[in-house]
Structure 1
């Protein structure tokens, strides 16, 4: 049965004592709220923590013991944010360092070393999600060459780790609007035939997929047609507003403007999809005459107030397509990192995460 994890990048700690304290404050209460003996996590380790653990096998074993003692398991890491993910302003800095920067490769290799020693006995593989190369500008043909070289080095490292540990660690590249690999089609076009398909595939973030207005079933088919695989699904939902040009629509969507994260917007017109890189820009520059989808991860179980809706229909269609295309369902991680910036939030965080996981288990299938 597929384990459905929740991603700990919703928590701000960037040192090991802080991470363990937040597991006690949030993850253990989530497990208890769900009434289960074990809870799967998609663990986020900022670069200094990942590097320190990779250099210290005793520390890795200690973290594994701390997780077991709390009834927590880890089969996947989120290595998209390098650090500083809860600064007052994150925006474009989340896409740094790029895959042309040696620091990104070193960080990802460190994460692989750590994950190999955290995998539970039940895990057939481990996964690490990462950014889609970089923000789209600047990016050159030379950058393509450098990024491919970094992936080649990483693939050799992952093969060696698999030989050492008996189970593979796989990289999951996560397309995101506005990036070099903006859509699933972009990611497939860049990765297919260029990387080691046994160790590098796709992280299908269903919020990002929805924002692109791609057909989820066709997107999954496109991945598999090329010999790539969905290594990981990030179960997430975007905001949608059918009539963004009305006074009611504008007011509702404007309530989600906030300074920390980037909220890319796409407008689906009969002649093509129009783009804005952030919500304030969209409110000023897009015609708002056709439906919008907004890169703002909203809780899966809580439908936004009208006239807003969420794209959980895209999530469910994508998950079903992945299940149909794969012998084994890949890792599923609920990734709602925006709890702290949601307007009018009054829900206790642990209770909210537990409610999301219940929704995911009921609608996608699996266990926490």
Structure 2
């Protein structure tokens, strides 16, 4: 829905169904309930997640036409998509495979271009459209040698330049501005705001501008501007909160370099301060382990008294470090409902969301706002609620937070 602060939606990666028909069936059953609760009189946007399989199905003209007709009948529209998970995202062990195939591969490039072909047909005229994607790949898959790390980044960056060239062509043909939104996260090749900015300014722009000037006859300045239009940051609030990053500082650095935020993904992690008392600390450790489940990665970032952050690839790996003398706080990657701040012994990083919403209220940093809580099905049972009601409650909470700023 269009608010004073941007288009607000939720990401359909909360729904299962890897084929398009299965996903569409769930969407048809759920979306009308959400719209009635959140935006009964005005159009409501959809943040569409398509697997590779579903994207192949939906590119068929008859399937796409049927979906567009359904959107019209529901007073709905698509302006953003999630192109991060390529394959199955529910019911299977995902873990680090969420990054595969990564940006080294032809499969990732082809999948992403297919998504943009679909988005070009769906996004309303006069509106920009974005697709979020993996932060190049999984960091620990390229840690063997410095040359392997360098080669991976070079290949991945070149393929993202290829996407930019494709999107420049779309804009010239259709007048629509579409952008690829890179999503840093713990253990990604790009983990943090500063890492993303350094990659953008020191690798993407030099390589991309050189390529676009040769291929498209642009000046260097025109090529740099085009890259900044078509390659943006997906700012997942959960991921930046996990790294104890200053949202204000990241936003200021992005502005200084002229880099755009494609969308805010509104999401919350779990956290807790670690008391000195060992029995109290054990209880908190057990509360964290209640969120350990086999589907997704739940990285832990442990803040130390000296300000350093120790990183663990998953909750079980962090368990043995619970009693580290220098550890003062744990944060773990588990998207919990954004309207919950108090989780008993644990808290959520909801305060980070509120800070980002205040920034958006004051500075209008993007046009796209997407609630992304995809873990309802693996939440501890006492936190599970009916899906449509839960999504509606999240969207209404965001709207309320904007109103009380």
* TM, length-normalised to structure 2: 0.85
Q: Which runs of 5+ in 1 are unaligned?
A: none
**1:194-343 equivalences in 2 (<5 Å):** 194-195=204-205, 196-243=227-274, 246-271=281-306, 272-287=308-323, 289-326=327-364, 329-343=366-380
Query: Once the two structures are superposed, what CA deviation does each residue of 1:289-341 show, in whole Å capped at 9, x if it has no partner?
Result: 31111110110112343221111111122233345444x63200000000000
Residue matched to 2:187 = 178
What SS class does the counterpart of residue 47 from structure 2 fall into? strand
Residue matched to 2:151 = 142
What SS class does the counterpart of residue 228 from structure 1 fall into? coil
Moved more, 18-27 or 41-50: 18-27
For the 8 Å contact 1:221–1:325, the answer to whether it is kept is: no
Alpha-carbon distance in structure 1 between the residues aligned to 2:368 and 2:402 = 12
- 1:155 aligned onto 2:186: no
- 1:189 aligned onto 2:168: no
Alpha-carbon distance in structure 1 between the residues aligned to 2:254 and 2:284 = 35
Which structure has the higher relative contact order (CA within 8 Å, separation 6+)?
1
Query: Once the two structures are superposed, what CA deviation does each residue of 1:256-301 show, in whole Å capped at 9, x if it has no partner?
Result: 1111000011111133011111111111235453111111011011
For the 8 Å contact 1:276–1:286, the answer to whether it is kept is: no
Work out which of the two has the higher radius of gyration on C-alpha atoms and give 1 or 2.
2
Residue among 48, 51, 55 paired with 2:53: 48
**Pair 58,24 (structure 1): closer, same or farther in 2 beyond 3 Å:** closer
What SS class does the counterpart of residue 189 from structure 2 fall into? coil
What SS class does the counterpart of residue 58 from structure 2 fall into? helix
Would you identify which runs of 4 or more consecutive aligned residues in structure 1 move more than 6 Å? none
Moved more, 189-198 or 133-142: 189-198
Residue matched to 2:122 = 118
Alpha-carbon distance in structure 1 between the residues aligned to 2:229 and 2:81 = 18
Per the TM alignment, residue 192 of structure 1 is displaced from its structure 2 partner at its CA by: 2.2
Q: Which runs of 5+ in 2 are unaligned?
A: 143-148, 206-226
What SS class does the counterpart of residue 271 from structure 2 fall into? strand
**Pair 364,264 (structure 1): closer, same or farther in 2 beyond 3 Å:** farther
Residue matched to 1:29 = 33
Residue matched to 2:223 = none
Residue matched to 2:222 = none
Residue matched to 2:131 = 128
Alpha-carbon distance in structure 2 between the residues aligned to 1:63 and 1:350 = 20
Moved more, 209-218 or 184-193: 184-193
What SS class does the counterpart of residue 28 from structure 1 fall into? helix
Residue matched to 2:80 = 76
What SS class does the counterpart of residue 234 from structure 2 fall into? strand
Query: Once the two structures are superposed, what CA deviation does each residue of 1:62-106 show, in whole Å capped at 9, x if it has no partner?
Result: 211112212321100000000111133110110101101011111
What SS class does the counterpart of residue 163 from structure 2 fall into? helix
Alpha-carbon distance in structure 2 between the residues aligned to 1:234 and 1:283 = 28
Alpha-carbon distance in structure 1 between the residues aligned to 2:398 and 2:102 = 32
Alpha-carbon distance in structure 2 between the residues aligned to 1:325 and 1:147 = 32
For the 8 Å contact 2:20–2:58, the answer to whether it is kept is: no
CA RMSD of aligned residues (A): 1.8
Residue among 109, 112, 116 paired with 1:105: 109
Query: Once the two structures are superposed, what CA deviation does each residue of 1:171-204 show, in whole Å capped at 9, x if it has no partner?
Result: 1000001111011111111112524111001000
Per the TM alignment, residue 161 of structure 1 is displaced from its structure 2 partner at its CA by: 1.0
